[in-house]
Structure 1
Amino acid sequence: MSETDRRNGEESIRVERGREVTDGLAVDTYRGEGVEGAPIVVFVYGGAWESGARGQFSRWALDAAGRGPASSRTESDDTASEDFVAVELEYRLSDEATFPAQIRDVRACLSWVRENAERFGGDADRVAVVGHSAGAHLAMLAALAPENAFGGEYDPEPTVHAAVGISGPYDLRADSDEDGVVRRFLGGSEEEVPERYAAASPVTHVAADAPSTFLLHGEADGTVPVESSEAMAARLEETGTTTRLRTDAGADHVYLHSSYWYPEIRESVFSWLDERL
Structure 2
Amino acid sequence: MQLPTPAPGQKIAYSTDSLQFGELRLPQGKGPFPVVVVIHGGCWLAQYNYQYMNHLSAALTKAGYATWNIEFRRVGNPGGGWPGTFLDVAQGVDFVRQLARQYPVDSKKVVVMGHSAGGHLALWAAGRKNIAKTSELYTKKPLKVKGVVALAGIPDLASYAMAPGSCNSAVPQLMGGLPNEVPHRYASGSPMQLKPGSAIIRLVQGEKDPIVPVAQPQAFEEKIKRPYSEIQTVLLPNAGHFDLVAPTSPVWSTVEQVVKDVLRK
**The two structures share one fold, judged by TM-score above 0.5:** yes
8 A Cα contact 1:107 1:155, kept in partner? no
- TM-score, with length taken from structure 2: 0.85
Q: 1:237-263 deviations in whole A, cap 9, x for unaligned? A: 242522222111132122213433353
Q: Which sections of structure 1, spanning at least 5 residues, go unmatched? A: 8-12, 68-82
Answering whether residue 3 of structure 2 is matched by residue 20 of structure 1, we say no
SS at structure 2 position matched to 1:55: helix
Q: C-alpha separation between the residues in 2 aligned to 1:262 and 1:251?
A: 7
8 A Cα contact 1:40 1:84, kept in partner? yes
**CA-atom RMSD, angstroms?**
2.4
| Residue of structure 2 in register with 1:135 after alignment | 118
Single out whichever of 29-38 and 265-274 deviates more from structure 2.
265-274
Written as runs of structure 1 = structure 2, the 5 A alignment for 1:139-218 is 139-146=122-129, 149=132, 150-151=135-136, 156-175=141-160, 176-178=162-164, 179=166, 180-206=169-195, 209-218=197-206
For this pair of structures, how many residues does the alignment match? Answer: 249
Q: Going by fraction, where is strand more abundant, 1 or 2?
A: 1
Residue type of the partner of 1:160? V
Of the candidates 90, 106, 119, which is equivalent to residue 71 of structure 2?
Answer: 90
Shift in Å, 1:100: 2.1
Answering whether residue 208 of structure 2 is matched by residue 220 of structure 1, we say yes
Single out whichever of 234-243 and 106-115 deviates more from structure 2.
234-243
Over the matched positions of the two proteins, sequence identity in percent amounts to 23
Q: C-alpha separation between the residues in 1 aligned to 2:235 and 2:251?
A: 14
| Residue of structure 2 in register with 1:244 after alignment | 232
- TM-score, with length taken from structure 1: 0.81
8 A Cα contact 1:206 1:235, kept in partner? no
Cα distance change on mapping 1:220 and 1:101 into 2, 3 Å: same
Shift in Å, 1:193: 1.3
Q: C-alpha separation between the residues in 2 aligned to 1:229 and 1:159?
A: 22
Residue type of the partner of 1:236? I
Residue type of the partner of 1:35? K
Answering whether residue 34 of structure 2 is matched by residue 39 of structure 1, we say yes
Q: 1:118-159 deviations in whole A, cap 9, x for unaligned? A: 422101111110001000000110111226645469554241
Q: 1:183-210 deviations in whole A, cap 9, x for unaligned? A: 1111122232122222221011125x33
Shift in Å, 1:116: 2.2
Cα distance change on mapping 1:153 and 1:212 into 2, 3 Å: closer
Q: C-alpha separation between the residues in 1 aligned to 2:30 and 2:91?
A: 25
Q: C-alpha separation between the residues in 2 aligned to 1:220 and 1:20?
A: 37
| Residue of structure 2 in register with 1:73 after alignment | none
Q: 1:51-75 deviations in whole A, cap 9, x for unaligned? A: 42222221222122223xxxxxxxx
Residue type of the partner of 1:91? F
Q: Which sections of structure 2, spanning at least 5 residues, go unmatched? A: none
Residue type of the partner of 1:164? V
Residue type of the partner of 1:55? Q
Q: Going by fraction, where is helix more abundant, 1 or 2?
A: 2
